Structure 1
Amino acid sequence: MSGAFFPGRFNGKVLVVTGAAQGIGRAVALRAAQEGGRVVFVDRADFVAEVAAEADGETSAFRCDLETWEGAAVAMRFAAETFGGIDILINNVGGAIRMRPFVEFEPEQIDAEIRRSLMPTLYGCRAVLPHLFSRGAGCIVNVSSNATRGIHRVPYSAAKGGINAITQALAMEVAGHNIRVVATAPGGTEAPPRRIPRNAAGDTEAEKAWMAEVVQQVKGSTFMNRYGTIEEQVAPILFLASDEASYITGDILPVAGGDLG
């Protein structure tokens, strides 16, 4: 993997990374293992185990649906039983399913966007807390988005705004337990083609045109006029997860080339 590498940064730490089969989550989980963490790769994709097997370190994989409470609870229990506890949770599951003007969204599509991009983080935070309490310390890093302001994705924006609220409210609530809750807010990010597309039905011609408008808006909103790289997203996530960020909690770090969303 390219990018900065900090050997031993996560020695002795157990990390759970959700959405670890592809994209940012995959890169985060692989880097955390490379830096000494014992990492549980969690995803509903059936190839999550083969991704975990790529890691240079001690890893395990767990397949479940994090859009349900049962999936989140069982995943955290599996991680704790496998490695003796949990120190860090990185909530990475999410992503807009469709890009379209809000007036074009059907009610069931709105519900699907909220289930996809809000509920895994909400459930994940709740499910991991007993394990962090038993540890006497811990950290949760939520992957939000700067798309709380942007076109053609209002339901997704609402979900990510909810993640920001979870981060700030929960950080205040659990600080006395020596638990930090933080978030990054990535902007547009270049990534390899997904092995499982977010919109299994495929995009209509209209949706492709609306997506092109989103890309234009996102690039035009950044000072750097480009998308970021996966490595540029991984670095701040793992910094916030590490002990180097021990006095940072309740904050949402924009990683979007200057676009605050």
Structure 2
Amino acid sequence: MSVYAARFAGRCAIVTGGASGLGRAVAKRIVAEGGKVVLWDLNVEALADARAQTGATAVVALDVSNPAAVAKAATDSAAALGKLDVLVCSAGITGATAPVHEFPIDSWQRVIDINLNGLFYCCRAVVPHLLANGYGRIVNVASVAGKEGNPNASAYSASKSGVIGLTKSLGKELAGRGVIANALTPATFESPILAQLPQSQVDYMRSKIPMGRLGEVDESAAMICFMASEECSFTTASTFDTSGGRTTF
């Protein structure tokens, strides 16, 4: 059990990409700390297992790049939980590994649709519920790639840079209204998403980390849970770093 046993008591959260990896770890911790969670993910089979493992109240199978589906999921999730207090946007894909002049157009479009447009749709649909409460926490998972750019990962880097910019704008819009929005910029960590990348790309990203290792899911999950809690009360429109020293800005 977490040392913060009741930190999310009475709080209700949506976690996108919640069927595996970072999203699943965050959801499990929120439930362990007294909260209620609805998991959103595209993987129907993994959602069923994740619900059992995390103790989530409900799951929603959807593609976050579909704005109508996201709007309905927000309404349904609010009904299932009774209210919405927290949104953690963790859904994402890496896309192709190729230089810009050879990058497949369909892969570019899909990465932007999931990582940036989908995150926008989620924020757009959930923010009204948070404002109705007069309280909310939004955590958007970006990446150090959004700060520095990774070669041969232009779509992913561009999408995550967009997430940072969107979050800064959103946080400033909501400042003073009880809703805080921040982004997390992790370096590469052990996660199922690494299966989408060639080993050479993983090795490159590890070489950029001064600590000399990949991150662990629980390290970023711990940071997200702070960002999603009442403890994070005077930082908004900002980025929190879990990069082993790779980015310090």
Q: For the superposition of Structure 1 and Structure 2, which TM-score range results when normalised by the shorter chain? A: over 0.9
Runs of 4+ in 1 over 4 A off after TM superposition: none
Which residue does 2:31 correspond to in 1?
33
Q: What does residue range 66-145 of structure 1 map to in structure 2 within 5 Å?
A: 66-145=64-143
Determine if contact 2:144/2:243 at 8 Å carries over to the other structure: yes
Q: Residue type matched to 1:40 in 2?
A: V
TM-score computed with the length of structure 2 as normaliser: 0.93
Structure 1: segments with no counterpart, 5+ residues:
199-207
Report the Cα offset of residue 137 of structure 1.
1.3
1:217 and 2:204 aligned: yes
Question: How many pairs are equivalent?
Answer: 245
| TM-score (norm. length: structure 1) | 0.89
Q: Distance in 2 between matches of 1:61 and 1:107?
A: 32
Per-residue displacement from partner, 1:83-128 (whole Å, max 9, x unpaired)?
A: 1110000001112022222222122221111112112211111000
* Structure 2 partner of 1:204: none
Give the corresponding residue for 1:62. Answer: 60
Q: Is the 8 A contact 1:30 1:52 kept in 2?
A: no
Residues 142-157 of structure 1 mapped to structure 2, 5 A cutoff: 142-148=140-146, 149-157=149-157
Report the secondary structure of 2:167's partner residue: helix
Change (3 A) 1:61 1:5: farther
**Which deviations, in whole Å up to 9, do the C-alpha atoms of 1:50-108 show, x marking residues without a partner?**
3112224x621111111111121111111111111100000011120222222221222
Q: CA RMSD, aligned part only?
A: 1.8
> Equivalent residue for 1:8?
6
| Cα distance in 1 for residues equivalent to 2:219 and 2:176 | 31
Letter in 1 for 2:59: A
For the 8 Å contact 2:22–2:217, the answer to whether it is kept is yes
Select between 101-110 and 225-234 the one with higher mean Cα deviation: 101-110
User: What does residue 205 of structure 1 align with?
Assistant: none
Cα separation, partners in 2 of 1:142 and 1:64, compared to 1, 3 Å: same
The percent identity for this pair of structures is 33
Q: Report the secondary structure of 2:54's partner residue.
A: coil
Matched, 1:161 2:161: yes
Structure 2 runs not aligned, ≥5 long: none
Amino acid at match of 1:239: F
